[in-house]
Amino acid sequence: MAVTVVGSVAFDALETPYGRRHRILGGAATHFSLAASFFTDVRVVGVVGDDFGPEQLAVFDRHGVDTSDLARVDGERSFFWSGRYDAEMQNAETIDTQLNVLATFDPQLSPAARDCSVLFLANMQPDVQRRVREQCPRAFAVGLDSMNYWISSARDSLVEAIRLADVVVLNDAEVRMFTDEPNPAVAVRRIRELGPRVVAVKQGRYGAALFTDDGFFAVPGYPLELVVDPTGAGDAFAGGFFGYLDRHAGAELSDNTLRCAAVYGSVMASFTIESFGSERLAGLTLAEIEARFEDFGRMTRFDGQPAALRSAGG
Amino acid sequence: MAVTVVGSVAFDALETPYGRRHRILGGAATHFSLAASFFTDVRVVGVVGDDFGPEQLAVFDRHGVDTSDLARVDGERSFFWSGRYDAEMQNAETIDTQLNVLATFDPQLSPAARDCSVLFLANMQPDVQRRVREQCPRAFAVGLDSMNYWISSARDSLVEAIRLADVVVLNDAEVRMFTDEPNPAVAVRRIRELGPRVVAVKQGRYGAALFTDDGFFAVPGYPLELVVDPTGAGDAFAGGFFGYLDRHAGAELSDNTLRCAAVYGSVMASFTIESFGSERLAGLTLAEIEARFEDFGRMTRFDGQPAALRSAGG
């Protein structure tokens, strides 16, 4: 069992009310793979420039992530994103985006990368997502993320990519934009009618919602008093989610397994935003992960008492 | 055991994507008392004008709500609010507000109303909330709601009113505005430091969060495919919450009782928004309430599997 993730490995420049980082390791595939590495074997497929050096590679190595499908292009630079968060820490203002090596990214996966049990197509051009998906016929679960840019500029292609996915992971603004439907439950139903069995809706500080054949499940956001950098929360959610699925689902995705996956996803997202970039995950222990998973249980449990209503008792 | 609620009984004119109502029964104390009436005895304290007639009174009567503390002023008109919702159905645009009889509302409660076990101070001028609270020394739980208008125009008085409350019920925008703190967990901690043991944060479609001595609890929003009119959702939440508390808490508020109260509050809010005004609650059955309470259980349960993490299994 192994997860293959395909997407951006990048440098980020970040500014939040709690500090700045001028050039740190980022990218959707980075945050995903580091989070997933706590659960299963992970192989990252991507492309970087010659500004990506031993220091960045060492981050993946320390987490046991296989980087043999990470291509390095000499004479070019890695994808770069620069963003700023306000005090609310919910939405980033993009200051600069430099595609660089990502502009022509269209990977041919190695046999090992193709032989994955779980495939995650991180946010990228949807035609590329489709071509990657076709290279991995054995995956029992294919996840897909996207963003507003592709919804508006490549909608038809994104529809086709979504048809090939089992689990769509989007935030609530993207769900609304993709379907042009303001009611979240109706919007998700329309996405599921395209083919995916599962839609996981990321809701920022409010947590995440899961829509499956068996119905609706919600996990709240972890009530952190200090959020340092929200970057990568959604990708870390997906990393925990699919990492857990790969380890536990086998070929069938039971509803409880999907629910636990969403909770582990929320656990990984909550740790990621406690520090800049991948800093918090670097020192994270398995005991901390399990303790926070149990926190989510305590945060959501209630035991109904019989005879709650008026007529039932007097 | 009985709940006394003090607040507005009004007429609303509403426009949503699903229709209009030109003049229907509304007001915070109305929505609260109808929702609470499914759990316990409710007495509504308020003032109406001579436009409030037998048709409106009959709504309270059908729910068994005691209206003997509802004063009727001849020659004046009831509080009137007119609002419009966009497709998102999250925020109302106020078109018109006519205080009318509410401008001089400063109630002297009857002995029966004072003898309540639970008191809910619906959104109103905070000095009035304080004077009402002092009239009800025996209440084991005092709830308080407010709104942006009082936070900006009567902040000092609102701070004093909050000091006298056990449970503060606000939406997340109000929590942020009252504390001037963007982080919800920090903002709620500051409110609790004023005195209230419990803060319930209403989050619209995302549900509600409960902060208590024992920690954090979250209940999701019910995933309705059709929301007809969000008016009164927050008051119906409070009605279910305090109605349940009155029936079940006795003098001590255990954490599980508070959690179940928040879930029953969410149940009542979810029914309220399925139709205009009090229409949905008119025909609501106890079986429907219990069935939806069980839905909330199904929507939030997950059973953690041991050995979820990498090192635990291989």
Q: List CB contacts of A245: < 8 A, sequence separation 6 or more.
A: A118, A141, A253, A257, A258, A261
Interface test with A, best of B213, B302, B311 (most A CBs within 10 A): B302
The pLDDT score that the predictor gives to residue A35 is 98
Confidence of residue B310 (pLDDT cuts 50, 70, 90): low
Q: Which chain B residues touch A40 with a CB distance below 8 Å?
A: 310
Cβ contact A62:A285 at 8 Å: no
Q: Are A205 and B215 a contacting pair at CB < 8 A?
A: no
C-beta of residue B144 within 8 angstroms of C-beta of residue B174 = no
Alpha-helical (H) ranges within chain A are: 28-36, 54-62, 111-114, 126-134, 148-153, 155-163, 172-179, 184-193, 233-248, 255-272, 279-282, 286-300, 310-313
Q: Nearest CA to B60 among B73, B42, B78?
A: B42
Pick the closest to residue A172 from A191, A159, A155 (CA basis). A191
Residues A216 and B267: their CA atoms lie apart, in Å, by 15
| Nearest CA-CA partner of A202 in A120, A91, A96 | A91
**10-residue averages of pLDDT along chain A (314 residues):** 96 94 96 98 98 97 98 97 90 93 95 97 98 96 97 98 98 97 97 98 97 97 96 97 90 88 98 96 95 97 73 43
The predicted model gives B85-100 an average pLDDT of 91
- Whole-structure pTM value: 0.95
In the prediction, which pLDDT does A310 show?
A: 62
Please report the sign of the dihedral spanned by the C-alpha atoms of residue A105, residue A109, residue A110, residue A116: positive
Span B225-263, pLDDT tens digits: 999 999 999 999 999 999 999 998 775 789 999 999 999
User: How many A/B residue pairs have CB atoms within 8 Å?
Assistant: 152
Tokens of B35: 């929702």
- CA A260, CA A240: separation in Å to the nearest integer? 10
As a whole-number percent, the residues of chain B with pLDDT over 90 amount to 91
Question: For residue A89, what pLDDT is reported?
Answer: 85
Phi, psi for residue B154 in degrees, rounded to 5: -145, 45
Question: What is each CA distance from A231 to A84, A158, A227, B61, B193, in whole angstroms?
Answer: 10, 23, 10, 54, 31
Helix A54-62 with A28-36: angle, nearest 10 deg: 30
**8 Å CB contact of A182 and B88:** yes
Write down the pLDDT at residue B196.
98
Say which range, A52-61, A88-97, B32-41, B269-278, has the weakest mean pLDDT: A88-97
Question: What are the beta bridge partners of residue A218?
Answer: A209
pLDDT at B78: 98
Q: What's the confidence (pLDDT) of residue B313?
A: 37
For residues B43 and B36, give the distance between their C-alpha atoms in angstroms, rounded to a whole number: 10
Q: What is the pLDDT of residues B131-161, one digit of tens each?
A: 999 999 999 999 999 999 999 999 999 999 9
Compute CA B92 distance to the chain's CA centroid, rounded to the nearest angstrom.
17
Selection from A202, A269, A270, A205 nearest residue A237 by Cα: A269
Is pLDDT above 60 for B307? no
Q: What is the pLDDT of residue B252?
A: 73
CA distance A199 to B234: 28
The half-sphere exposure of B183 on its side-chain side, counting CA atoms within 13 A, is 15
**3-state SS assignment for residue B130:** helix
Q: Does A185 touch chain B (CB under 8 A)?
A: yes
* Contact call for residues B192 and A213 (beta carbons, < 8 A): no
CA-based nearest residue to A213, from A227, A196, A228: A196
- Chain A neighbors of B39, CB-CB under 8 A: 308-310
CB within 8 Å of A153: residues ≥ 6 apart = none
Q: A309: distance to nearest CA of chain B, Å?
A: 5
Dump the DSSP string for A258-280: HHHHHHHHHHHHHHHTTSSTTHH
Residue in A40, A205, A294 nearest the CB of B310: A40
pLDDT of B314 higher than 50? no
Q: What is the rounded average pLDDT of the residues B274-297?
A: 96
